[in-house]
């Protein structure tokens, strides 16, 4: 089998852009869940849910050219935009003068990354199409990051950094490393745009000059030095403001909404034929960006969530028939709830939006809670925020300033229903509810999330192996409309539209979710 050999199911494959196939890449082996037959039903429903409204690509395997067509399509989708696409006369400067022609030869070792070096998206060789996870064909590779030709002279650069959306542990670490690395490149004009995109239009908000001195210790606290916000000016107003300020390098830290904005800014700059590099840094505590192994902030969130879960456990355990309910973040997906439940080992029931459940009825959550109280005297439930979208809750149609649906509070709802249920049955239960969202989001990044950033300062020569530095490379190298992330443990560039096509979600057939079920011991609630 070569790298592109398909694992075919009924002649059709899921396209690599679906969240399902993304996760399928990470799950392998042949774990057999005892509740598998029931789960198959759930699985079908989930597959339908996961595919709703998404562009489905099908491949005609009877076409002898399917492979090259597929590869061409993939190449086109994952080609990373470059300034020279529209500015044909943009000239480059070599990063080092050590090489003839300004760029190292491929013939001998030189320590530089070649433009054609790639990271494989899929690293598992499936022996058969029926192997667990073998549901997509190999979607190919991404570009590796690294030192290369630069299209911006440091003295001509005015770089701006903006942080948008909700808080996420690690924002300050990233701001700090971008500033430090820009200074290492020799950039003198570095500014922060205050309070997200709003800072481009609000005349009361002055841009913040940034330097190593200013950012030296900011990683020691959570939040964002620059402030964050949702909503803000139109893309056209943002680009007008960038032109007025002379910003030609923009680093945008944010989630899927922010990246949609970054891509639109990049497109607008292209339309105006501006020599501007717009580079995203994925900030999503929810870990809901496609194709990336993990985004910063997520580890810290899982770790901090342990404290809330432990408190809920202690409260529940110390009360007569105590029930602790913890609601964890995740606007579109249950990653935090799943991993925190798994890591804590203290959760009896984990509810995530990707897996349907009934609250009431003989197989519902409430009946199981009663069983747990009878059997072991207490129980702890972890529920993902996104379940607030369920029909269970009254719809308000409210949206926040960015246009995100404002979710009902599923934690409060489950708490109330639990109280009602036990009151109705006459069975005593003491229900406690914890929502640690803002305590988690405001935390300083833990060692894992902050490591690569902090590492930079001490080990400058290892900079090329770190996330943030490479992301600065991307801008200097003339790429725009790109973002960076870890794919199969390597740092690579992605074209923005591919990673925000839809939110990444938990695969209910993945080993991780099955492990979570094994850890909680919960049945299917349907």
Ligand X SMILES: O=P(O)(O)OC[C@H]1O[C@](O)(COP(=O)(O)O)[C@@H](O)[C@@H]1O
Q: Which residues bind Mg ion (CB under 5 A)?
A: 255-257
Span near ligand X by CB under 6 A; candidates 45-53, 209-217, 323-331, 408-416? 323-331
DSSP assignment letter at 445: P
Which one of 104, 223, 227, 255 is in contact with ligand X (CB under 6 A)? 255
Question: Per-residue contact track with ligand ADP, 154 to 183, x per CB under 6 A?
Answer: ----------xxx-----------------
Q: Which does 385 bind (CB under 5 to 8 A by kind): ligand ADP, Mg ion, ligand X, none?
A: ligand X
Cβ closest to ligand X, residue 206 vs residue 439: 439
Tokens at residue 239, please?
């680009």
DSSP class per residue in 397-433: --B-TTSPBPPP-HHHHHHHHHHHHHHHHT---EEEE
Count the site residues for ligand ADP by CB under 6 A.
19
Query: Any contact of residue 170 with ligand X (CB under 6 A)?
Result: no
Shortest separation between residue 299's beta carbon and ligand X, angstroms: 15
Measured CA angle at 353 (ends 28, 310), to 5 deg: 85
Q: Which does 258 bind (CB under 5 to 8 A by kind): ligand X, Mg ion, ligand ADP, none?
A: ligand ADP
Query: Any contact of residue 346 with ligand ADP (CB under 6 A)?
Result: no
- In the region spanning residues 479 to 498, those forming contacts with ligand X, defined by CB under 6 A, are none
Which one of 264, 292, 472, 482 is in contact with ligand ADP (CB under 6 A)? 264
Cβ closest to ligand ADP, residue 134 vs residue 160: 160
Q: Can you list the alpha helix ranges (DSSP code H) found in 142-255?
A: 171-185, 212-215, 235-245
- Quick one: 133 exposed, middle or buried, by C-beta within 10 A (0-12, 13-18, 19+)? buried
**For residues 371 and 363, what is the distance between their CA atoms, to the nearest angstrom?**
11
DSSP class per residue in 224-251: -TT---S--S-HHHHHHHHHHHT--EEE
Both ends of the chain: CA-CA distance in Å?
A: 41
Quickly count: other Cβ atoms within 10 Å of residue 2's Cβ: 6
117 is catalytic: no
- In the region spanning residues 378 to 407, those forming contacts with ligand X, defined by CB under 6 A, are 385, 400
Cβ closest to ligand X, residue 119 vs residue 252: 252
Sequence-separated (6 or more) residues with CB below 8 Å from residue 325: 312, 380, 381, 383, 411, 414, 415, 418, 431, 432, 433, 434
Q: Which does 295 bind (CB under 5 to 8 A by kind): Mg ion, ligand X, ligand ADP, none?
A: none
Cβ closest to ligand X, residue 192 vs residue 282: 282
Which one of 259, 321, 331, 511 is in contact with ligand X (CB under 6 A)? 331
Please name which of 418, 415, 327, 410 lies closest in space to residue 369, comparing C-alpha atoms.
Answer: 418
Question: Per-residue contact track with ligand ADP, 191 to 210, x per CB under 6 A?
Answer: -----xx-------------
DSSP assignment letter at 280: E
**For residues 492 and 227, what is the distance between their CA atoms, to the nearest angstrom?**
27
**For residues 297 and 169, what is the distance between their CA atoms, to the nearest angstrom?**
5
Question: Per-residue contact track with ligand ADP, 397 to 426, x per CB under 6 A?
Answer: -----x-x----------------------
Cβ closest to ligand X, residue 284 vs residue 378: 284
CB 79 within 8 A of CB 495: yes
Shortest separation between residue 400's beta carbon and ligand X, angstroms: 5
Shortest separation between residue 441's beta carbon and ligand X, angstroms: 6
Which one of 284, 378, 452, 483 is in contact with ligand X (CB under 6 A)? 284
Cβ closest to ligand ADP, residue 228 vs residue 379: 228
Sequence-separated (6 or more) residues with CB below 8 Å from residue 365: 349, 351, 357, 358, 359, 381, 414, 525
Query: Any contact of residue 280 with ligand ADP (CB under 6 A)?
Result: no
Active-site hit among 22, 138, 286, 299? 286
CB 386 within 8 A of CB 334: yes
The set of catalytic residues is 286
Could you list the residues that contact ligand X (CB under 6 A)? 165-166, 255, 257, 284-286, 329-331, 385, 400, 441
């Amino acid at each position: 089998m070569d790298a592109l050999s398909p694992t075919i199911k009924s002649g059709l494959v899921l396209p690599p852009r679906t969240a399902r196939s993304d996760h399928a890449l990470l799950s392998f082996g042949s774990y057999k869940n005892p509740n598998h037959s029931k789960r198959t039903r759930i699985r079908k429903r989930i597959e339908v849910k996961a595919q709703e409204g998404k562009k489905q690509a099908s491949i005609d395997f009877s076409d002898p050219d399917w492979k090259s067509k597929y590869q061409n399509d993939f190449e086109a989708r994952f080609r990373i935009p470059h300034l020279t696409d529209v500015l044909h006369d943009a000239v480059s400067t070599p990063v080092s003068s050590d090489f003839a022609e300004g760029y190292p030869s491929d013939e001998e070792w030189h320590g530089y990354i070649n433009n054609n070096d790639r990271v494989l998206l899929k690293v598992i060789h499936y022996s058969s199409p029926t192997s667990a996870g073998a549901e997509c064909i190999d979607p190919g590779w991404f570009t590796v990051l690294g030192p290369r030709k630069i299209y911006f002279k440091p003295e001509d650069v005015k770089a701006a950094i903006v942080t948008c959306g909700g808080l996420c542990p690690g924002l300050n670490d990233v701001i700090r490393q971008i500033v430090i690395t820009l200074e290492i490149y020799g950039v003198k004009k570095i500014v922060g745009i205050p309070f997200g995109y709003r800072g481009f239009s609000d005349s009361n908000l002055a841009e913040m000059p940034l330097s190593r001195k200013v950012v030296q210790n900011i990683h020691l606290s959570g939040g964002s030095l620059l402030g964050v916000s949702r909503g803000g000016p139109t893309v056209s107003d943002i680009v007008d403001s960038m032109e007025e300020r002379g910003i030609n390098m923009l680093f945008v830290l944010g989630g899927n909404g922010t990246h949609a904005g970054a891509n639109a800014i990049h497109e607008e700059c292209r339309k105006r034929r501006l020599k501007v590099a717009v580079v995203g840094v994925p900030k999503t505590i929810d870990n809901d960006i496609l194709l990336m192994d993990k985004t910063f902030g997520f580890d810290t969130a899982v770790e901090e969530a342990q404290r809330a879960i432990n408190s809920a456990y202690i409260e529940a355990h110390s009360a007569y028939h105590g029930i602790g309910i913890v609601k964890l973040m995740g606007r579109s997906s249950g990653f935090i709830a799943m991993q925190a439940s798994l890591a804590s080992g203290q959760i009896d029931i984990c509810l995530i939006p990707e897996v349907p459940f009934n609250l009431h009825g003989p197989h519902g959550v409430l009946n199981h809670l009663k069983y747990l109280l009878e059997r072991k005297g207490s129980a702890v439930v972890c529920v993902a925020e996104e379940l607030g979208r369920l029909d269970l809750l009254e719809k308000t149609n409210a949206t926040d300033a960015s246009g995100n649906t404002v979710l009902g509070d599923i934690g409060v709802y489950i708490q109330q229903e639990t109280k009602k249920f036990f009151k109705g049955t006459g069975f005593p239960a003491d229900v406690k509810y914890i929502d640690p969202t803002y305590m988690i989001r405001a935390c300083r990044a833990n060692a894992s999330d902050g490591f690569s950033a902090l590492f930079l300062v001490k080990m400058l020569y290892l900079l090329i192996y770190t996330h943030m530095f490479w992301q600065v490379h991307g801008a200097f190298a003339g790429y725009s409309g790109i973002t960076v992330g870890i794919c199969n443990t390597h740092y690579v560039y992605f074209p923005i539209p591919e990673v925000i096509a839809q939110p990444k979600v938990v695969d209910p057939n993945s080993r991780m979710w099955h492990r979570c079920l094994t850890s909680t011991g919960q049945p299917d609630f349907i």
